[in-house]
Structure 1
Amino acid sequence: MEILQVVGLGLIATVLVIILREYRPEMAMQVSLVAGVVIMLLVINRIAGAVQAITETAVGAGINLVYLQTLLRVIGIAYLAEFGAQACRDAGEGSIASRIELAAKVIILVMAVPIVMEIMESILLLLP
């Protein structure tokens, strides 16, 4: 079970970070980052499987894949930004974390513009 691996790795990394923080604070941050990356790599296959299933369903339903791709990119940006922001917060850099989150929000907004425009055009076509 993957969740046992994830939780086990998380707990071991946490204990290591707590111990290292006393004696080698710079090493504690590195252990924390490596643990986070390894945990992400452990679950990446699950994400790929979910994306494939969603894509197959969208194709079967006749949904334009451009919209689905944009949605999946937005989700990816949100996950990556959250990961980066939390790593910055763990290092005590809350202001950098906030800037990462702001940048992600701006990127997501820009990516959503074509979809919003398409929705607005569709609404205008429905109005008399």
Structure 2
Amino acid sequence: MAGDKLIIIAGVCIFAAVMCRVFDSTAKEYGVLIKTALAVGIAAVVIDCLVPMIGRIEDMYGRISADEAYLTVMLKGLGICYLTQLASDICRDSGEGTLAVQAEMAGKTALLLISLPLFEKTAQLALELIY
């Protein structure tokens, strides 16, 4: 991520934190809305910064002729982790700890589901080595 974007994000986060403190005593729901909108906006900026890097990783995988399934699982897993953490943090900040735990459990389950084909390949390879 470019340094200038990081500085802007840090400044906006500090401003939003001050605004949330202002709303804490009078209208707490506005603070939650500010946090949620800011989190989604920052996630969009981060994803925008990751797109060129993903292209470079795809090029690297193409040059070494590795199985694309590994790259796919890695990128999907990264997306699931980011999205799960975002949802969990927003729920926790809103005072909904139970929903945060459920979001985390859903993310872990999604990671397990997308990695199942790789686990099958690994198990098959292990069986081939044994027999």
- TM-score bracket for the superposition, by shorter chain length: over 0.9
Matched, 1:49 2:18: no
Which residue is 2:82 aligned to? Answer: 79
CA separation in 1, counterparts of 2:25 and 2:42? 24
CA separation in 2, counterparts of 1:43 and 1:106? 24
Which residue is 2:27 aligned to? Answer: 24
Which residue is 1:90 aligned to? Answer: 93
User: Identity percentage over the alignment?
Assistant: 23
Matched, 1:11 2:8: no
CA separation in 1, counterparts of 2:32 and 2:19? 10
More RCO (CA 8 Å, sep 6+): 2
Structure 1 window deviating more from structure 2 (97-106 vs 40-49): it is: 40-49
RMSD: 1.1
Which residue is 1:59 aligned to? Answer: 62
Structure 1: segments with no counterpart, 5+ residues: none
CA separation in 2, counterparts of 1:84 and 1:124? 39
Which residue is 2:126 aligned to? Answer: 123
CA separation in 1, counterparts of 2:83 and 2:66? 26
Matched, 1:34 2:37: yes
Contact 1:29 1:91 in 2 (8 A): yes
Residues 25-70 of structure 1: CA deviation (Å, up to 9, x unaligned): 1111101111111111222222111211111101111011122112
CA separation in 2, counterparts of 1:41 and 1:33? 12
Tell me the TM-score normalized by structure 1: 0.94
The number of equivalent residue pairs is 128
